[in-house]
């Protein structure tokens, strides 16, 4: 992802665009190691999705495959603020990269896309249903907004263990990702209400990429500034530049600390953009070229790479080495997926019930 002449100023921003919130001040400070972890996670997400497109067009995977390109700063900035041994992540159908950030190995995610037994959902789930109990990934929900209540239930579970069962260590935080389109669904409002009412340790992250398939966000909602909807529930709501991983990461750390301390939920609205069509089946003809260009110019990975080098946290060569390492991980994942067995038809009925 390292390229020369990276543009980080956004002065040519189109007029009609919503103005971006200022960077949080102060920004969280990161060490070199942390910076490289964040960079690697974003590159992993990007390369993984690019490989998915290639494999899809080569007929290796099927169904609706929704790629995450462009939104990496959100997944990485949020999930890397969590405790991977404790906290939960819940996603949508655009879930590959959330799964990767949560620690599900690329092999398992790719194998799932190939429908293989070694996939994280044993080939039963597919692109839109990534699950991993081991990595505390609660799914993978194909219906818009249906994951919001489930994630809210996981957050309720933390509170229940702490307060009803007396376990002082039960302070797991749940992060719930969904889109701008989902924020117009009743489950969003119902759950915000309950989460605020009961002060649940949850972070609702709306990835506002301006579009719900072909429905422009501004045409779908009376109040486009989604973060403001938190206020009527007496909940903290913040907006953040979703192309700026450090900004996202900073707010995520605050929200995690708030949740962990029992001070309740946060609604984070990350302003972002998907660099590809809605799914690999979408020709992406509706979105204006100008709009796309403006957002491409704000590529979150290039921006962060520039920041790392400007601040002398990493050299070009170090970043290049990470790119190469990730490329190898992806190649390995494809080989693994390709050579893995299909599920055995004799196990068609397995996993219907808990005893199976």
Partner 1 sequence: MAATLMFNALREATDEEMARDQTVFVLGEDVGHYGGSYKVTKDLYKKYGELRLLDTPIAENSFTGMAVGAAMTGLRPIVEGMNMGFLLLAFNQIANNAGMLRYTSGGNFKIPLVIRGPGGVGRQLGAEHSQRLEAYFHAVPGLKIVACSTAYNAKGLLKAAIRDDNPVLFFEHVLLYNLKDELPTHEYICPLDKAELVRPGQDVTLLTYSRMRHHCLQALKEIERDGYDPEIIDLISLKPIDMVAIAESVRKTHHVIIVEECMKTGGIGAELSALIHEQLFDELDAPVIRLSSQDIPTPYNGTLEYHTIVQPPQIAEAVRKLMSRQL
Residue ranges binding ligand TPP (CB under 6 A): 94, 142-144, 178-182, 209, 211-213, 278
Nearer to partner 1, 101 or 272 (CB): 101
| Nearest approach, Cβ of residue 226 and Mg ion (Å) | 11
Per-residue binding string, partner 1, 75-114, x by CB under 8 A, is -------------x-x------------------------
Is residue 75 at the binding interface for Mg ion, with CB under 5 A as the rule?
A: no
User: Of Mg ion, partner 1, ligand TPP, none, which one sits near residue 140, judging by CB under 5 to 8 A according to partner kind?
Assistant: partner 1
Could you tell me if 179 and 206 are in contact, meaning their C-beta atoms sit under 8 angstroms apart? Answer: yes
**What is the strand order of the sheet 266-271 is part of?**
88-90, 174-179, 202-208, 266-271, 236-241
Which residues, including other chains, have CB under 8 Å from residue 191's CB and lie 6 or more apart? 148, 149, 151, 152, 204
For residues 21 and 239, give the distance between their C-alpha atoms in angstroms, rounded to a whole number: 7
Give the residue with the Cβ less far from ligand TPP, 39 or 141: 141
Name the residue number minimizing CB distance to Mg ion.
Answer: 179
Q: Is 34 helix (H, G, I), strand (E, B) or coil?
A: helix
The answer to whether residue 121 forms part of the interface with Mg ion (CB under 5 A) is no
Tokens describing residue 49: 């999705």
The listed partner (ligand TPP, Mg ion, partner 1, none) that binds 62, CB under 5 to 8 Å by sort, is: none
Binding mask 148-187 for Mg ion (x = CB under 5 A): -------------------------------xx-------
Stretch that binds partner 1, among 42-50, 130-138, 223-231, 255-263 (CB under 8 A): 130-138
Count the residues in the chain. Answer: 356
Which residue number, 2 or 154, has a Cβ lying nearer to partner 1?
154
Please state, in angstroms and as integers, the Cα–Cα distance from residue 172 to each residue in 5, 92, 176, following that order. Answer: 42, 20, 13
DSSP assignment of 149-209 equals HHHHHHHHHHHHHHHTS--TT----EEEEEETTGGGSHHHHHHHHHHHHTT-SEEEEEEE-
Q: Does 191 bind partner 1 (CB under 8 A)?
A: yes
Q: With residue 147 as reference, give the H or E element that holds it.
A: helix 147-163
The residues in 263-302 that bind partner 1, with binding defined as CB under 8 A, are none
144 to 173, contacts with partner 1 by CB under 8 A? 146, 148-157, 159-160, 163-165
From 38, 65, 106, 138, residue interacting with partner 1 (rule: CB under 8 A): 138
């Amino acid at each position: 992802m390292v390229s020369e002449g990276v543009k980080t100023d956004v002065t040519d921003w189109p007029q009609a665009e919503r103005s971006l919130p200022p960077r949080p001040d102060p920004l969280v400070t990161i060490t070199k190691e942390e910076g490289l972890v964040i960079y690697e996670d974003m590159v992993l997400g990007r390369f993984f999705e690019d490989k998915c497109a290639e494999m899809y067009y080569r007929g290796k995977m099927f169904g609706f495959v929704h790629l995450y390109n462009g939104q990496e700063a959100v997944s990485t900035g949020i999930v890397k603020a969590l405790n991977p041994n404790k906290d939960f992540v819940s996603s949508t159908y655009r879930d590959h990269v959330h799964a990767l950030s949560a620690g599900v190995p690329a092999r398992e995610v790719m194998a799932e896309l190939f429908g293989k037994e070694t996939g994280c959902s044993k080939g039963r789930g597919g692109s839109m249903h990534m699950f991993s109990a081991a990595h505390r990934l609660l799914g993978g929900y194909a219906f818009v907004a249906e994951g919001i209540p489930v994630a809210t239930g996981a957050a309720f579970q933390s509170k229940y263990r702490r307060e009803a069962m007396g376990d002082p260590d039960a302070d797991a935080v749940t992060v719930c990702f969904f889109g701008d389109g989902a924020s117009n669904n009743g489950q969003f409002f119902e759950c915000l209400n309950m989460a605020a009412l009961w002060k649940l340790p949850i972070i609702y992250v709306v990835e506002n990429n301006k579009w719900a398939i072909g429905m422009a966000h501004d045409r779908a909602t009376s109040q486009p500034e989604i973060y403001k909807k938190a206020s009527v529930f007496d909940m903290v709501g913040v907006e953040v530049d979703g192309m700026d991983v450090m900004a996202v990461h900073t707010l995520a750390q605050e929200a995690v600390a708030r949740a962990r301390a029992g001070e309740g939920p946060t609604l984070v609205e990350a302003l972002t953009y998907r660099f590809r069509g809605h799914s690999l089946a979408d020709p992406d003809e509706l979105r204006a070229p100008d709009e796309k260009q403006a957002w491409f110019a704000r590529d979150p990975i290039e921006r962060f790479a520039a920041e790392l080098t400007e601040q002398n946290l990493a050299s070009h060569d170090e970043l290049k080495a990470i790119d190469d390492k990730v490329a190898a991980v992806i190649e390995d994942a494809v080989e693994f997926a390709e050579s893995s067995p299909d599920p055995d038809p004799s196990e068609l009925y397995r996993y219907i019930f808990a005893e199976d």
